[in-house]
Structure 1
Amino acid sequence: MNAARLPFARFFAALFVVALLAGCGFKLRGSNGTYNMPFHSIYVGFPDTSPLGTELKRNLRAADSVVIADKPEGADAQLVVMSEARGRQILSLNNLGRVREYLLTYTFTFRVTDAKGAQLLGPTEIRLSRNMAFSEQEVLAKEAEANLLYRDMQSDLVQQILRRLAAMKPAAPAATPAPAAS
């Protein structure tokens, strides 16, 4: 084959593969940002001032079939917040003993129950971390970077919570005993 035609052949082969994948309907589950939740309404137990709670509620409202309940009594499911913590640890020091790098962590623990208190999803801990280089000459900029990294972890955390909620199995109805034969 002519050396000048080889790049064009590769380009058209790659274009053919992409068109083939797009034509078959292949799509990652949840890649369009919506999830099929196994409940119709949910109570999210966050304070009104919680940024994580606000973002989670906004993402749950984006799913047309889910209603955010104001009280736990009227909801099909209840997300119970067990703990939420942000942390910062020294990851490395320079030769003068000053901080060179931090490890930022965000840990969230929750469980999900149904309206009767039966556990739909046991205590689940999600732990996220990011490395952040540090410089004493840029303290304000590094603080802003840390806040940006925490917001990024919060968005990632919301997506992980949504995926876990969507993967839950609804509580099986209690089996009713068969009438005794006389």
Structure 2
Amino acid sequence: MRKRTLLSLMALAPVVSACGFRLRGAPSFPFSTLFVRAPEGSPFTREVLRNLATAGGNLTVILPPAKADTAEVTLFLLGERRQRVILAKTASGQVREVELRLFARFKLVDREGRVWIEDTEMQQKREMSFNESLALAKDEEEAALYRNMYSDLAQQLLRRLAAAHAPAAD
């Protein structure tokens, strides 16, 4: 039985590789030093720094109080905001479904002031059912959804940094 399973998997290997499937792997950045200018204590800042630290590769992250001109590029985390939108109510006016939204803005500039990535806003949305009798559990669910959205935005930001390229010379 094991031999048959192994042979079946070996037969499928060329099909899977031919479809273009490839694991994402560690990002390769077009710069080797990155200065991060971000609001202190922000959950998004913490998540971005955690993802940069675990990204691997040859990237060196520089943080304040060091000077920004010591890095090739500076990542500006310009802000984040949360939004909670009511999607559905009962006939008696009780909230039944909400949409959680998270927005984050950033830009990437090199030491000469050339913009690599313009001021960009990313967003994540999640829908959540709501029940007043389960308010504490729903608060915890909301916090978990926001943590997940912060993580998704940070990973999306790293992919955008890896895809960035120097602006054309004037």
Shorter-chain TM band: 0.7 to 0.9
Q: Is the 8 A contact 1:78 1:113 kept in 2?
A: yes
Q: Is the 8 A contact 2:98 2:130 kept in 1?
A: yes
Distance of aligned partners of 1:97 and 1:103 in 2 relative to their CA distance in 1, 3 Å threshold: same
Percentage of pairs with the same residue:
34
Aligned length: 163
Secondary structure of the structure 2 residue equivalent to 1:112: strand
Larger Rg: 1
Post-superposition Cα deviations, 1:95-124, rounded to whole Å, max 9, x if no partner, equal 211100011000011111001111001111
Equivalent positions of 1:55-94 (< 5 A) are: 55-62=47-54, 63-70=56-63, 71-94=67-90
Q: Is the 8 A contact 2:35 2:68 kept in 1?
A: yes
Secondary structure of the structure 2 residue equivalent to 1:117: coil
Secondary structure of the structure 2 residue equivalent to 1:64: coil
Aligned to 1:52: 44
Secondary structure of the structure 2 residue equivalent to 1:125: strand
Query: For residues 169 and 27 of structure 1, what CA distance do their matches in structure 2 show?
Result: 25
Secondary structure of the structure 1 residue equivalent to 2:44: helix
Q: Is the 8 A contact 1:72 1:78 kept in 2?
A: yes
Q: Structure 1 stretch 140-149 or stretch 51-60: which is displaced more?
A: 51-60
Secondary structure of the structure 1 residue equivalent to 2:22: coil
Query: For residues 102 and 162 of structure 1, what CA distance do their matches in structure 2 show?
Result: 29
Query: For residues 11 and 149 of structure 2, what CA distance do their matches in structure 1 show?
Result: 34
TM-score, normalising length: structure 1: 0.79
- Structure 2 runs not aligned, ≥5 long: none
Secondary structure of the structure 1 residue equivalent to 2:149: helix
Equivalent positions of 1:1-182 (< 5 A) are: 15-16=9-10, 18-21=12-15, 27-28=21-22, 31-32=24-25, 34-62=26-54, 63-70=56-63, 71-172=67-168, 174=169
How far does residue 22 in structure 1 lie from its aligned partner after superposition? 5.7
Query: For residues 12 and 132 of structure 2, what CA distance do their matches in structure 1 show?
Result: 48
Query: For residues 104 and 16 of structure 2, what CA distance do their matches in structure 1 show?
Result: 37
- Structure 1 runs not aligned, ≥5 long: 1-8, 176-182
Q: Flag the structure with more relative contact order, 1 or 2, with Cα contacts below 8 A and sequence separation at least 6.
A: 2
Query: For residues 61 and 133 of structure 1, what CA distance do their matches in structure 2 show?
Result: 35
Query: For residues 136 and 23 of structure 1, what CA distance do their matches in structure 2 show?
Result: 50
Post-superposition Cα deviations, 1:72-95, rounded to whole Å, max 9, x if no partner, equal 221111111223101111111112
Distance of aligned partners of 1:111 and 1:23 in 2 relative to their CA distance in 1, 3 Å threshold: closer
Query: For residues 12 and 145 of structure 2, what CA distance do their matches in structure 1 show?
Result: 34
Query: For residues 51 and 80 of structure 1, what CA distance do their matches in structure 2 show?
Result: 15
Query: For residues 16 and 64 of structure 1, what CA distance do their matches in structure 2 show?
Result: 31
RMSD: 2.5
How far does residue 159 in structure 1 lie from its aligned partner after superposition? 0.8
